[in-house]
């Protein structure tokens, strides 16, 4: 394939606009912060979104009695520690307001091992106070200019009874209205949105749009989630699930604006505030090379359909189904505990090395150029999500790449079943649930991509790139113009003292 000389557009960075996290309280942890620091150094997300900002573990809503009267204090001891850490790591919070503080809740239903209360507030007035107080505190501490860049999403997946008692749509609309109103009272320039629905419930979007218009309720962005997995087949501490093709994710992204067509919400920013293959934190597919190759086209094309799509989640430090029982346990994370990179991490890290100018894009590759002339190719072996071996074991791709110099230095980085794949090494060492320090060293080593360097000739301004990809490989090929500085006397033949022929 002949890659064009001139850009065909800009590469969207919707893919790194946001990333998901386990409940925000976990941001107090060291491994979490170290993991996020690594992520920001090598990938660089702009926002981070997680549950539980107002849940009991954050200690925000604190009723007390004083002189015989019930009062409430809003405490931000942990909120501030979490947000300070985020900002210090160069990432901003995408605020999700939820779940319900136990003492403000109208019921006892909880979700997750860590028991997030999913019932409406006992008092919408007190909830509004809590929201106002939280936003006002954040502005006071971080400044309005900063906080107005943080989207505020109302609740999470209210269309599921697990997350919102009875999946009560009217109750959600009421919560949204009260919450959005409280946010805007603090400052009209703050951005509020929803309805943060799970896949398969897009009809909520239309009704959300109607409701918002009917009641004149402020909406600054629309949000939904996308997953492709089927029903869970349980094993101890894990599940297996079938997956729809990755294109189903792009379809889910695109469906939102289609649904909203004609409404006032149609032109608003669309945030896919969660996406992944499986929605389960104990599905080993997340840990595989397959997973990276499966998601590659989603990262390449997702920006065509949404303003952000947020990988759920950056780390296996995540406790919705309890404390993980083994290093590799099917967690969502791009990183395991203790920061072992998974193949999908590499997909993101490779994307982060692409240039701004889009030269070419297809089912198995993406080509970009940097301002300094480097050309970067991301290629992947297309996958079959049924797990049936799909045709040949190896995928071949030939590209004619434009480059402006006499030769190109080529750096290739790859993750596949064998390389950049610590899970394979982990299995070979006996699947140690809690690896010892020297095993962790090996896993960190095994997690690094395979790397090769070569020099290729440039002919008529082009390099012929002939790539063979292994099963489930994702590969990054970076081509840099060579400026030769070797002196005329450089002579490898004389290294061991043989006289120059004279």
318-357 positions binding a copy of itself, by CB under 8 A:
322-327, 337-338
The one segment of 90-98, 360-368, 446-454, 468-476 that binds a copy of itself by CB under 8 A: 446-454
| 216 versus 493: smaller Cβ distance to a copy of itself | 493
Work out how close the CB of 403 gets to a copy of itself at its nearest, in angstroms, rounded to a whole number.
14
Verify whether residue 157 is a known catalytic residue.
Answer: yes
CB 51 within 8 A of CB 64: no
Start-to-end CA distance of the chain, whole Å, equals 46
Work out how close the CB of 79 gets to a copy of itself at its nearest, in angstroms, rounded to a whole number.
8
The one segment of 92-100, 117-125, 194-202, 419-427 that binds a copy of itself by CB under 8 A: 419-427
Size of the site for a copy of itself (CB under 8 A): 94
| 2 versus 428: smaller Cβ distance to a copy of itself | 428
Site for a copy of itself, residues 279 to 308, rule: CB under 8 A: 284-285, 288, 290
CB 46 within 8 A of CB 89: no
Measured between alpha carbons, how far is 220 from 226 in angstroms, rounded to an integer?
Answer: 20
Q: Which of 145, 391, 466, 496 binds a copy of itself (CB under 8 A)?
A: 496
Which positions ≥6 away from 283 have C-beta within 8 Å? 229, 232, 238, 239, 240, 241, 277, 330
| 60 versus 118: smaller Cβ distance to a copy of itself | 60
Buried b (16+ CB within 10 A) or exposed e, 452-478: eeeebebeeebbebebebbbbbbbbbb
Burial of 386: CB neighbours in 10 Å, binned 0-12, 13-18, 19+: exposed
Site for a copy of itself, residues 111 to 170, rule: CB under 8 A: 137, 141
Q: Which of 7, 13, 31, 400 binds a copy of itself (CB under 8 A)?
A: 31
Catalytic residue among 25, 96, 157, 165: 157
Site for a copy of itself, residues 454 to 493, rule: CB under 8 A: 454-455, 480, 482-491, 493
Six-digit token string for 170: 């009217």
Q: Which of 433, 457, 464, 468 binds a copy of itself (CB under 8 A)?
A: 433
Q: Which of 264, 434, 457, 461 binds a copy of itself (CB under 8 A)?
A: 434
What's 321's DSSP letter?
Answer: T
**Strand locations in 69-182, DSSP E?**
69-74, 92-93, 95-97, 110-111, 116-117, 152-154
Measured between alpha carbons, how far is 163 from 112 in angstroms, rounded to an integer?
Answer: 9
The one segment of 2-10, 261-269, 340-348, 422-430 that binds a copy of itself by CB under 8 A: 422-430
Measured between alpha carbons, how far is 306 from 277 in angstroms, rounded to an integer?
Answer: 17
Q: Is 235 among the residues that bind a copy of itself (CB under 8 A)?
A: yes
Which residues form the catalytic set? Answer: 157
């Amino acid at each position: 394939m002949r890659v064009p000389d001139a850009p065909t557009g800009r590469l969207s960075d919707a893919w790194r606009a946001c990333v998901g996290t386990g409940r925000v309280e976990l941001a107090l942890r060291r491994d979490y912060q170290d993991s996020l620091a690594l992520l920001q150094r090598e990938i660089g997300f702009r926002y981070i979104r997680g549950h539980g900002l107002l849940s009991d573990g954050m200690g925000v809503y604190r009723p007390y009695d004083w002189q015989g009267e019930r009062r409430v204090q809003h405490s931000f001891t942990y909120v501030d520690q979490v947000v300070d850490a985020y900002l210090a790591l160069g990432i901003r919070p995408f605020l999700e307001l939820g779940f319900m503080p136990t003492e403000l809740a109208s019921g006892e239903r909880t979700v997750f091992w860590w028991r997030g209360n999913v019932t409406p507030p006992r008092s919408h007035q007190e909830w509004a106070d809590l929201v106002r107080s939280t936003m006002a505190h954040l502005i006071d501490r971080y400044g309005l200019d900063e906080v107005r860049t943080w989207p505020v999403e109302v609740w999470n997946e209210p269309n599921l009874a697990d997350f919102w008692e009875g999946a009560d749509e009217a109750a959600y609309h009421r919560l949204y209205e009260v919450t959005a109103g409280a946010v805007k009272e603090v400052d009209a320039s703050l951005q509020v949105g929803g309805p943060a629905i799970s896949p398969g419930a897009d009809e909520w979007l239309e009704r959300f749009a109607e409701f918002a218009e009917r009641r004149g309720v402020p909406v600054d962005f629309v949000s939904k989630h996308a997953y492709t997995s089927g029903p869970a087949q349980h094993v101890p501490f894990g599940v297996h699930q079938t997956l729809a093709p990755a294109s189903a994710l792009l379809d889910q992204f695109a469906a939102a604006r289609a649904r909203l067509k004609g409404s006032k919400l149609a032109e608003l920013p669309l945030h896919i505030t969660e996406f992944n293959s499986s929605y389960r934190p104990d599905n080993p597919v997340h840990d595989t090379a397959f997973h990276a190759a499966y998601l590659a086209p989603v990262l390449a094309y997702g920006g065509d359909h949404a303003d952000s799509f947020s990988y759920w989640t950056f780390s296996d430090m995540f406790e919705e189904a309890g404390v993980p029982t083994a290093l590799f346990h099917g967690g969502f994370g791009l990183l395991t505990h203790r920061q072992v990179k998974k193949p999908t991490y590499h997909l993101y890290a490779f994307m982060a090395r692409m240039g701004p100018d889009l030269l070419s894009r297809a089912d198995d590759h993406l080509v970009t150029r940097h301002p300094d002339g480097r050309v970067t190719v991301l290629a992947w072996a297309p996958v079959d999500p049924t797990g049936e071996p799909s045709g040949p074991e190896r995928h071949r791709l030939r590209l004619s790449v434009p480059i402006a110099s006499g030769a190109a230095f080529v750096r290739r980085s790859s993750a596949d079943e064998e390389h950049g794949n610590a899970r394979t090494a982990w299995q070979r060492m006996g699947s140690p649930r809690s690896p010892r320090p020297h095993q962790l060293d090996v896993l960190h080593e095994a997690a690094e991509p395979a790397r090769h360097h070569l020099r290729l000739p440039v002919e008529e301004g082009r390099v012929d790139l002939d790539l063979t990809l292994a099963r489930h490989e994702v590969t990054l090929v970076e081509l840099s113009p060579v400026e030769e500085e070797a002196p005329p006397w450089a002579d490898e033949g004389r290294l061991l003292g043989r006289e120059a022929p004279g």
